[in-house]
Amino acid sequence: MKTPISSRRDHARAIMKLGTPLILSNVAQFAIHMTDTLMLGWYSVTALAAATIAGTMFFLIFIVGSGFAQALTPLVAEAAEAGDDQQVRRATRMGLWLSVIYGAVMMIPFIWSEAILLATGQEPAVAALAQDYLHIAGLSMIPALIVMAMKSFLAAIERTGIILWSTLGTAVLNAFLNYALIFGNWGAPELGIQGAAIASLLLTSLNVVVLFAYVLAKTPQFKLLQNVFAPDPAMLLRVYRLGWPIGLTALAEGGLFGATAFMMGWLGEVPLAAHGIALQLSGLTFMVHIGFSQAATVRAGRALGRRDEASLRRGGLVAISLSAIYGFATMFVFIVFPGVLVSFFVDVDAPTRDAVIAFGVSLMVVAGLFQVVDGLQVMALGLLRGVQDTQVPMVMATISYWGIGLPVSYLLAFPLGFGGVGLWAGLVVGLSMAAILLHWRFWRQSVFIDAD
């Protein structure tokens, strides 16, 4: 057990030490997806639109299953703080079990993805290309969830360096593989959108090998592969109960963005392509908030293991403050330089370049407005997860995103005629309500009542 941290300055140092590798690894992970978007945008606008809608479908399915992996962070952090290596092993093993089972079942929708996308109103050419992508990328669902589980385990025991370096290596290799397989460079076949899917599958699988090799070599005390096939019903149920609300909370938020992408598709190929660019840029900045939130979850889990509520709240306030400062900075960049950011994603010779940039600029200005509230709501979620409070936050998030945000998006976009800008304005409303409710939940309750 480590010595508790007392001062705000020490909390800030601890959060930055833990959070910086997580932030950089999140940025590197997102760079993998951004590389796909960037290169497919250079390849063709249709490929970019298809990748946007296919990526949205994959992501929505993935984030639900990732809840079981994310449940490992507070469970392992609490057990590690108490010095209970067996509990660490039990939680991690059952988290991996649930991740693999979910991943195997959820590969099925990708087989019929074209029909699913057509049913949502997507254009036939876009839906067909999206299926070409998902038939290959869907195979990476299980390794992607395993990677998420291992990263959650490593973050909880505060070994975040390997997470950073493995993700950076994957991002670099992905850029080279994309360049070869999408465009047919260096003697490789020109595979377009399928080339991006093949690169993702190969590198996700490689990342599984790297992380397991590190864990077995550097953390032998946990014996993670000991009795790996032995069932543990009690821990399985505990991980499940903590993880499914995390997954559904992520689905509620991701679904809000996903539904916005589907509705943007109703406006046409150009608006959908512009939406994909704005979403990539917003997602990139969001990775920093996610890193702070992950660090806050670990610190909160450690405080839970010590039953140290004062340290929990002081550290939570510091983490939130760091996230808010960053949020204001990115808000400024989005509002002042939207054209420069969007134009980087569209080929200079594309016939629809000017239209995509113009539409993207209008979206970026609105996206800048929710940079702070987006960070605030995910920080509250991270702290609540750290003290293993996930079910009530799930309800609050669902009401905010779907009960308020999505209806406002639709109302502003279509009946009131604001189009794509209206869709994004609804996101601001939903995220703002989530931030208010979740912070009320964290700051107004005694978080250790249900933990004892």
Around Cβ 119, how many Cβ atoms within 10 Å?
10
* CA dist., res. 437 & res. 376, Å (int): 11
- Per-residue pLDDT of 99-150, as tens digits, reads 999 999 998 888 888 888 888 788 888 888 888 889 898 898 999 999 999 9
- Per-residue pLDDT of 11-62, as tens digits, reads 888 888 888 888 888 888 777 777 877 788 788 878 888 888 888 888 888 9
The yes-or-no verdict on residue 366 having pLDDT over 70 is: yes
The yes-or-no verdict on residue 452 having pLDDT over 50 is: no
- Per-residue pLDDT of 350-362, as tens digits, reads 778 888 888 888 8
Instruction: Match 């420069």 to its residue by tokens.
Output: 340
**447 band by pLDDT with thresholds 50, 70 and 90:** low
DSSP string spanning 271-284?
HHHHHHHHHHHHHH
Which tokens belong to 207? 């990342």
- The better pLDDT of the pair 338, 408 is held by 408
* CA dist., res. 3 & res. 73, Å (int): 20
Angle between helices 371-386 and 309-336 (to 10 degrees): 160
- Least confident window among 61-65, 169-173, 193-197, 283-287: 283-287
CA angle 430, 436, 441 (to 5 degrees): 125
pTM of the predicted model as reported, rounded to 2 decimal places = 0.82
User: In this predicted structure, what is the pLDDT of residue 274?
Assistant: 85
Chain centroid to CA 200: how far? Answer: 16
- Are the C-beta atoms of residues 235 and 94 closer than 8 Å to each other? yes
Which among 66, 76, 383, 380 is positioned nearest to 254, based on CA atoms? 66
User: Mean pLDDT throughout 430-435?
Assistant: 93
User: In this predicted structure, what is the pLDDT of residue 248?
Assistant: 92
User: Mean pLDDT throughout 295-318?
Assistant: 86
* CA dist., res. 415 & res. 397, Å (int): 25
Please report, rounded to a whole number, the percentage of residues in the chain having pLDDT higher than 70.
97
Q: Distance from first CA to last CA of the chain, Å, rounded?
A: 19
Q: Give the alpha-carbon dihedral of 361, 367, 368, 374, to 10 degrees.
A: -170
Please report, rounded to a whole number, the percentage of residues in the chain having pLDDT higher than 90.
41
DSSP 348: T
User: In this predicted structure, what is the pLDDT of residue 345?
Assistant: 77
User: In this predicted structure, what is the pLDDT of residue 390?
Assistant: 92
CA distances from 293 to 159, 255, 315, 441 (A): 16, 20, 12, 16
Which tokens belong to 244? 């499914």
The yes-or-no verdict on residue 378 having pLDDT over 70 is: yes
* CA dist., res. 252 & res. 390, Å (int): 13
User: In this predicted structure, what is the pLDDT of residue 451?
Assistant: 42
The yes-or-no verdict on residue 280 having pLDDT over 60 is: yes
DSSP string spanning 67-111?
HHHHTHHHHHHHHHHTT-HHHHHHHHHHHHHHHHHHHHHTTGGGG
* CA dist., res. 362 & res. 338, Å (int): 8
The yes-or-no verdict on residue 449 having pLDDT over 50 is: no
Q: In whole numbers, what is the pLDDT of the chain averaged over residues?
A: 87
Give the contacts of 185 (CB within 8 A, at least 6 positions apart). Answer: 179
The yes-or-no verdict on residue 171 having pLDDT over 70 is: yes
